[in-house]
Structure 1
Amino acid sequence: MPLLQFNLVKDAWTKEQVQTILDSAYDVTLKTLGAPQGDRYQTVSYYDPDDLIMGDTGLGFQRSEKRILLNIRTRPRTREQKINFYHQLMEQLHDKLRLDANDLMITMIVNTDEDWSFTSGKAQFLTGDL
């Protein structure tokens, strides 16, 4: 936990590049959100370009086929943690993949301990198992 859900344009990335995206996000999650080692939950969904619509919200920029929409479900985080996550992930993806800053959009959806069951139909945060 957190759960990172990546939405990408189909055929815009190689398998190796997608792995770099996932590994970079995991690294940043450990560093900025305080997730413990091995706490890795990630999914990747692929869309035709016309099915992954990411406007500029009136900010006046363009996005490319390399656009990434990342949805994160997480326990509450501080404002500083969120800002650091956004910034550090962008830096890593730019450094490793030359990702344009306009091509990354991140949303964080906050939930609480009772919203997680990792196995066996139990709420491990509530039972004290975690």
Structure 2
Amino acid sequence: MPLVRVSLRRGKSDDYKRAIGDGVYQALRETFMVPDEDRFVTVSEHSESEFQFSKTYMDIARTDDLVILQITVSNTRTVEQKKALFARIVELLSQKPGLRKEDVFINLLEVVKENWSFGNGVAQYA
């Protein structure tokens, strides 16, 4: 059920963008026990003026390779699972496509289960 939104600066290759989706999906499978085929990822590329961020907020040195991940999930996970997800995403994305851990910004949005419809106008979890 996760919905993953990836935002980054324009100019990265399709393989780079696919690697981000692959890494996030793998981390979700491992830490949130997301089922097979439950993969929904959008990637949005932005020009410099459309992708604004602090390069130093919270004493974290970010570069223009910053990737912002916004992940919407049902509100059923523990704090420990969320921490594990964040750590695993950073670990995997540092391996492929080679992102610096400082350049991975993650925002987790939690919704109640009945707020999902995967098609056919049906609230499958309600």
TM-score, with length taken from structure 1: 0.90
- Give the superposition deviation at 1:97: 2.5
Q: Secondary structure at the match of 2:88?
A: helix
What one-letter code is carried by the residue in structure 2 that aligns with 1:107? N
Residue segments in structure 2 that go unaligned for 5+ positions in a row: none
The number of residues matched between the two structures is 125
Distance (Å, rounded) in 1 between the aligned partners of 2:62 and 2:87: 18
What one-letter code is carried by the residue in structure 2 that aligns with 1:85? L
Residue segments in structure 1 that go unaligned for 5+ positions in a row: none
What one-letter code is carried by the residue in structure 1 that aligns with 2:7? N
- Give the superposition deviation at 1:81: 1.1
CA RMSD of aligned residues (A): 1.3
Task: Provide the residue aligned with 2:111 in structure 1.
Answer: 111
1:1-130 correspondence to structure 2 within 5 Å: 1-11=1-11, 13-55=12-54, 58-76=57-75, 77-126=77-126
C-alpha change, 1:61 and 1:113, in structure 2 (3 Å) is closer
TM-score, with length taken from structure 2: 0.92
Per-residue CA deviation, residues 102-123 of structure 1 (Å, 9 max, x unaligned), is 1110001100111101111110
